């Protein structure tokens, strides 16, 4: 490492030196010589005779101060210092950039021939010199000049002007009347198919909606359009928030580092998060697209109208917007299923992040590369923290808080504290202790003990909270704990003698609490931390009988699922501890599994979740040293046992139902349970060949993939042929091929690693495309533990090689895929040393990016 990058600290925040009210931008597009002219007036906030602007990889052409060429400046590594300037002045800067050579997918770049931008977090500085920080808010006027082979020249806001120019060129001018920080700037130029529709807001304004997709993809755009209209309607109904411009555009591009970006009035999306039709997209894809379209739309208020003061406050907009998109999905679909999804994300990814070297509070205090902090902690735990406020204040109180937040801060760049203060003030609630959630990191644990006193007919709950040893906060947190007590018949007991908040919520503010419930006739079964009311680990010695009671009777379907998960986890633990992969299933577990099929819940999608075993990553969180091989075998063993136990039920269900090909919740649920059935049946002696073939030739992608993944997982004789056929059928559609790459990467055989390596030269594969990399290598490292953690270290080597290559090409993507290597300390000595060797080798790269430096440094030191 040449020079150690310096971390920025939240504690060192300084307001900007100058204000900029308005910026005029002109882009003259060309692949290697795009000219960008920026004009803006600066007003000093304090007496200062110089300015420092951000700028990276820019070629300076001209610099004028108040109309005069200005030569008194110094170029810095990541900016420019302009000396001898007055208190207020007009700046004009012309720079040149080369979008075609920009492979970082940040700033202005070419995606398959179309120009597009990505400015969050700090990409605007790759476009021109400016205050590239979220607390400098300005209105933008943008003129885009390009060849007519790019018929669409787009930027934020409303179109002002357009016209022809010489030499086959034309221009369009856009104006965005709302002040915004530079990270929300966007520009797109290209040739697209356009889907157009409209939305009439509750106050009667008509908004034009446009979705731009690659030529030939128009038939895959309607689902995103419907999702957008549903989002607009929902935000009016639930949050009383209306859209503010006359036009809303979404552009789908193939080369994109993340899911999507909320640029004002001009969202740019990863095409994987827009395009869908029945033949190419799974039911899961449909769901994800709807929620991401919603997420970006909801940012218009939570992110754009009110934005972040600095990037340490990222969760202000992301935690809140994830909470909003989760509520959107829950109001439109199944609340229980969405909760299961959200909790799975927390337990599988966030708990692991919180226990690893990159652990940080939802409001980080120390950052080297901001791109490294778009994390499950900031997003998903951030949303859980917002959800806890919602739980404590109730829907009405929460909405009052939102209203006050907008009254106070519309048009401003603010902090997480400002948000909590609005919630507290609007409801006259003291949330000072609650604010610790923004500073604390590591997953807190709730230790629960219960005592039943038959004579006094009381039931006592003792709850103690403890914190991870490296956690900077040792004071107790403010924790809402939802509980339900079930009687012997499975009926909920009326809770008496204890103070409750909004429903069944106990409030913890001390390190230890004792709650005593009165008039309890017999020893009840406690449902604790119902609906995951706080992002904590729960330590309570549930008996198997209690768990099966909860799985059958809890009011909340989420709680039933959770009880099943604990049962599976205990079962797998027993197998791992016994080092016997041929043990018998707990009778409590087998009887509850059978009873689930004897008395099926109305929602069959929930049933499919009930019978799903927790994945490797979730389970491995329970071990200091992850027993890779034993754990993989125990999961396999349990899955086989479940399959054998449920065989007659699964066959009956499978043969009694049909995939209608429809998209209703019921159709989707039937497909989910049919696929789960096939997955299990493929493990048994039952001959599933005909079913596999039938599903594989289906025109519905969910059904088709269900066959392929079942066949592959069971190493069925048909799987190779099915995979080959899929390749032939779909190699014209790269997004569909991503599903195929991902399947290849999950193959349980020892050949998998060679298959993955050989796929680098598949005609559809491209290392510079993040979707391809994530599908093939991301899936291999995250979802194929047995093969990734091969004792010979070849899995680690594969990942190390790729990261070394991506370090230069696309540092942001390189840094995303390194995660599985960072937690090397949790593995046995052999694996640990081989993982560490890859990190050390990467650390020695001479031009290591800041992104990788920060993670590797934290992991090794």
Strand partners, 482: 505
Q: Residue 752 is inside which H or E element, if any?
A: helix 752-759
Distance CA 344, CA 356 (A): 18
Is residue 296 annotated as part of the catalytic site, yes or no? yes
Q: What share of the chain is helix, strand, coil (3-state, %, to 5)?
A: 45, 20, 35
Does residue 769 interact with ligand TRP by CB under 6 A? no
Q: How far is the CB of 325 from ligand TRP (least distance, A)?
A: 9
Per CB under 6 A, the list member of 117, 257, 548, 571 interacting with ligand TRP is 257
Three-class SS state of 153:
strand
Q: Which stretch binds ligand TRP (CB under 6 A): 118-126, 233-241, 747-755, 822-830?
A: 118-126
Say whether residue 122 binds ligand TRP (CB under 6 A): no
Length of the chain: 861
240 Cβ neighbours under 8 A, 6+ residues apart: 399, 403
Query: 132 touches which of ligand TRP, Zn ion, none (CB within 5 to 8 A by kind)?
Result: none
638 and 613 in contact (C-beta within 8 Å)? yes
Q: Which of 213, 261, 477, 643 contacts ligand TRP by CB under 6 A?
A: 261
Q: Count Cα atoms within 13 angstroms, Cβ side, for 134.
A: 28
For position 318 contacting ligand TRP by CB under 6 A, the verdict is yes
255 binds, among ligand TRP, Zn ion, none (CB under 5 to 8 A by kind): none
Q: Which residues contact 513 (CB under 8 A, 6 or more apart)?
A: 462, 463, 464, 506
Tell which residue, 550, 531, 558, 537, has the closest CA to residue 588. Answer: 550
Residue 310 sits in the site that holds ligand TRP (CB under 6 A): no
Contact 152/191 with Cβ under 8 angstroms?
yes
Helix (H) or strand (E) holding 538: strand 537-539
Contacts within 8 Å (CB) and 24+ apart, 334-338:
334/603, 334/605, 334/606, 334/665, 336/556, 336/557, 336/558, 336/561, 336/603, 336/606, 337/603, 337/605, 337/606, 337/609
Least distance between ligand TRP and beta carbon 751 (Å): 35
Q: Which of residues 364-383 bind ligand TRP (CB under 6 A)?
A: 374
- State the Cα–Cα distance between residues 553 and 586, nearest whole angstrom: 19
118, β-bridge pairs: 107
Nearer to Zn ion by C-beta: 320 or 848? 320
Say if residues 569 and 561 touch (Cβ distance below 8 Å): no
Per-position b or e across 782-798, b if 16+ CB within 10 A of its CB: bebbbbbbbeebbbbbb
Q: Return the number of the residue (321 or 427) whose C-beta is nearest Zn ion.
A: 321
CB of 270 to Zn ion, least distance (A): 13
In the complex with Zn ion, the residue whose CB is nearer, 29 or 342, is 342
Assess 132 for contact with ligand TRP (CB under 6 A).
no
3 state DSSP class of 37: strand
Least separation, in Å, of the C-beta of 296 and ligand TRP? 6
Q: Does 738 bind ligand TRP (CB under 6 A)?
A: no
CB nearest ligand TRP: which residue? Answer: 258
Answer whether 52's CB lies under 8 Å from 76's CB: yes
Q: Interface residues for Zn ion in 319-338 (CB under 5 A)?
A: 321
Q: Cβ 628 to ligand TRP, closest distance in Å?
A: 33
118's contact among Zn ion, ligand TRP, none, with CB below 5 to 8 A by partner kind, is: ligand TRP
Residue 224 in the binding site for ligand TRP (CB under 6 A): no
Q: Does 258 bind ligand TRP (CB under 6 A)?
A: yes
93 binds, among Zn ion, ligand TRP, none (CB under 5 to 8 A by kind): none
Q: Is 315 in the site for ligand TRP (CB under 6 A)?
A: no
> Binders of Zn ion: how many residues, by CB under 5 A?
2
- CB contact at 8 A, 526 and 502: no
Q: What is the CA radius of gyration of the chain?
A: 28
Strands (E) across 148-232 are located at 152-155, 158-164, 169-180, 187-190, 193-200, 206-213
Q: Catalytic residue, from 296, 318, 530, 639: name it.
A: 296
| Residues linked to residue 366 through DSSP beta bridges, in sequence order | 9
Residue nearer to ligand TRP on the CB measure, 118 or 440: 118
Work out how close the CB of 101 gets to ligand TRP at its nearest, in angstroms, rounded to a whole number: 19
The answer to whether 180 contacts ligand TRP (rule: CB under 6 A) is no
Q: Which does 354 bind (CB under 5 to 8 A by kind): ligand TRP, Zn ion, none?
A: none
Considering the rule CB under 6 A, would residue 788 count as an interface residue with ligand TRP?
A: no
* Contact stretch for Zn ion (CB under 5 A) within 315-323, 360-368, 708-716, 747-755: 315-323
**Long-range contacts of residues 196-200, Cβ cutoff 8 Å, at least 24 apart:** 197/225, 197/229, 199/228, 199/229, 199/232, 199/233, 199/243, 199/248
Cβ-based burial of 455 (10 A; exposed 0-12, middle 13-18, buried ≥19): exposed
- Among the listed ranges 115-123, 359-367, 465-473, 524-532, the one in contact with ligand TRP (CB under 6 A) is 115-123
Peptide bond into 226 cis (omega under 30): no
Stretch of residues binding Zn ion (CB under 5 A), selected from 83-91, 316-324, 432-440, 843-851? 316-324
> What stretch of H or E contains 679?
helix 665-681
Which partner in ligand TRP, Zn ion, none is near 183 (CB below 5 to 8 A by kind)?
none
| Contact call for residues 67 and 96 (beta carbons, < 8 A) | no
Among 235, 296, 484, 562, the residue binding ligand TRP under the rule CB under 6 A is 296
The 259-298 contact track toward Zn ion, x by CB under 5 A, reads ----------------------------------------
Q: Kindly state whether residue 325 participates in binding ligand TRP, applying the rule CB under 6 A.
A: no
Give the total of residues touching ligand TRP (CB under 6 A). 12
From 256-264, 280-288, 451-459, 795-803, span contacting ligand TRP (CB under 6 A): 256-264
Q: Residue 799: in which H helix or E strand, if any? A: helix 794-809
227 binds, among Zn ion, ligand TRP, none (CB under 5 to 8 A by kind): none
Q: Is residue 188 part of the contact set for ligand TRP (CB under 6 A)?
A: no
Q: Which of ligand TRP, Zn ion, none has residue 609 at its interface (CB below 5 to 8 Å by kind)?
A: none
Question: Cβ contacts of residue 499 below 8 Å, gap of 6+?
Answer: 506, 507
Nearer to ligand TRP, 223 or 295 (CB): 295
Regarding 354 and contact with ligand TRP (CB under 6 A), the answer is no
Pairing relation of β-strands 158-164 and 247-253? unpaired
Q: Which of the ranges 113-121, 163-171, 502-510, 767-775 carries the binding residues for ligand TRP, by CB under 6 A?
A: 113-121
295, 435, 671, 816: which one binds ligand TRP (CB under 6 A): 295
Show which residues are catalytic: 296
Residues that bind Zn ion (CB under 5 A): 318, 321
Where do contacts with ligand TRP occur on this chain (CB under 6 A)? 118, 120-121, 257-258, 260-262, 295-296, 318, 374
């Amino acid at each position: 490492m040449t020079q150690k990058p310096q971390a920025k600290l939240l504690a060192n925040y300084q307001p900007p030196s100058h204000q900029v009210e308005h910026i005029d931008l002109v882009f003259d597009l060309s692949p290697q010589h795009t000219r960008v002219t920026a004009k803006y007036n600066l007003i000093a906030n304090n007496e200062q005779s110089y300015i420092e602007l951000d700028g990276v990889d820019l070629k300076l052409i001209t610099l004028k101060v108040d109309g005069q060429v200005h030569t008194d400046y110094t170029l810095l590594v990541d900016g420019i210092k302009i000396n001898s300037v007055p208190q207020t002045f007009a700046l004009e800067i012309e720079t040149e950039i080369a979008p075609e050579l920009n492979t970082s997918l940040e700033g202005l770049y070419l995606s398959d021939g179309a120009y597009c931008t990505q400015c969050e977090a700090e990409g605007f500085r790759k476009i021109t010199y400016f205050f590239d920080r979220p607390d400098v808010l300005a209105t933008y006027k943008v003129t885009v000049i390009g060849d007519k082979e790019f018929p669409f020249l787009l930027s934020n806001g409303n179109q002002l002007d357009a016209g022809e120019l010489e030499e086959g060129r034309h221009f369009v001018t856009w104006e965005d009347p709302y002040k915004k920080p530079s990270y929300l700037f966007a520009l797109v130029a290209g040739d697209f198919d356009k889907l157009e529709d409209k939305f009439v807001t509750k106050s009667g304004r008509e908004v034009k909606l446009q979705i731009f997709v690659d030529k030939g993809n128009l038939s895959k755009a309607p689902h995103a359009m419907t999702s957008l209209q549903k989002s607009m309607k929902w935000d009016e109904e639930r949050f009383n928030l209306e859209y503010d411009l006359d036009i809303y555009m979404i552009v789908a591009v193939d080369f994109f580092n993340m899911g999507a970006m909320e640029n004002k009035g001009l969202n740019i999306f990863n095409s994987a998060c827009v395009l869908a039709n029945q033949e190419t997209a799974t039911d899961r894809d449909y769901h994800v697209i709807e929620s991401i379209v919603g997420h970006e739309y909801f940012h218009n208020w939570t992110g754009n109208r009110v934005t972040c003061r600095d990037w340490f406050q990222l969760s202000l907009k992301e935690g809140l917007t994830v909470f909003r998109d989760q509520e959107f999905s829950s109001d439109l679909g199944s609340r229980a299923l969405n909760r299961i999804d959200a909790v799975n994300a927390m337990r599988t990814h966030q708990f692991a992040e919180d226990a690893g070297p990159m652990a940080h509070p939802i409001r980080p205090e120390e950052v080297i590369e901001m791109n490294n902090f778009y994390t499950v902690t900031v997003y998903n735990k951030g949303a859980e923290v917002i959800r806890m406020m919602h739980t404590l204040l109730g829907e009405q109180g929460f909405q009052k808080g939102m209203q006050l937040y907008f009254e106070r801060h519309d048009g401003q760049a603010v902090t997480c504290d400002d948000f909590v203060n609005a919630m507290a003030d609007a409801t006259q609630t003291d949330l000072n202790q609650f604010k610790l959630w923004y500073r604390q990191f590591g997953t807190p644990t709730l230790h629960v003990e219960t005592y039943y006193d038959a004579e006094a007919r009381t039931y006592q709950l003792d709850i103690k909270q403890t914190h991870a040893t490296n956690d900077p906060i040792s004071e107790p947190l403010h924790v809402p704990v939802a509980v339900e007590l079930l009687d012997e018949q499975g009926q909920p007991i009326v809770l008496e003698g204890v103070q409750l908040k909004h429903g069944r919520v106990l409030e913890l503010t001390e390190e230890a609490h004792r709650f005593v419930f009165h008039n309890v006739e017999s020893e009840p079964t406690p449902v604790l931390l119902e609906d995951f009311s706080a992002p904590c680990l729960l330590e309570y010695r549930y008996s198997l009988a209690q768990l099966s009671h909860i799985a059958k009777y809890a009011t909340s379907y989420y709680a039933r699922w959770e009880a099943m998960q604990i049962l599976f986890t205990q079962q797998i633990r027993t197998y791992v501890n016994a080092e016997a992969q041929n043990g018998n299933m707990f009778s409590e577990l087998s009887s509850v599994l059978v009873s689930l099929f004897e008395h099926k819940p109305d929602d069959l999608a929930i049933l499919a979740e009930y019978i799903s075993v927790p994945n490797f990553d979730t389970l491995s969180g329970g071990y200091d040293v992850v027993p890779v091989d034993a754990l993989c075998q125990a999961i396999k063993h349990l899955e086989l046992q479940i399959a054998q136990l449920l065989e007659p039920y699964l066959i009956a269900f499978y043969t009694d139902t049909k995939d209608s090909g429809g998209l209703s919740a019921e159709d989707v649920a039937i497909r989910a349970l049919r696929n789960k059935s096939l997955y299990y049946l493929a493990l048994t002696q039952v001959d599933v060949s005909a079913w596999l073939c039938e599903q594989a030739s289906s025109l519905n992608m969910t059904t088709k993939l269900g066959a392929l993944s079942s066949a592959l997982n069971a190493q069925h004789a048909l799987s190779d042929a099915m995979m080959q056929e899929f390749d032939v059928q779909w190699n014209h559609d790269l997004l569909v091929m991503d599903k195929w790459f991902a399947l290849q990467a999950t193959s349980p055989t020892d050949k998998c690693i060679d298959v993955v390596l050989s796929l680098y030269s598949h005609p559809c594969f491209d290392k510079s495309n993040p979707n391809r990399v994530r599908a093939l290598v991301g899936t291999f490292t995250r979802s194929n533990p047995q093969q990734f953690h091969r004792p010979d270290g070849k899995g680690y080597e594969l990942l190390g090689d790729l990261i070394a290559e991506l370090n230069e090409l696309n540092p942001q993507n390189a840094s995303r895929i390194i995660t599985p290597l960072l937690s090397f300390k949790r593995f046995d000595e052999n694996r640990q040393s081989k993982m560490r060797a890859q990190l050390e080798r990467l650390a020695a790269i001479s031009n290591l990016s800041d992104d990788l430096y920060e993670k590797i440094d934290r992991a090794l030191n």
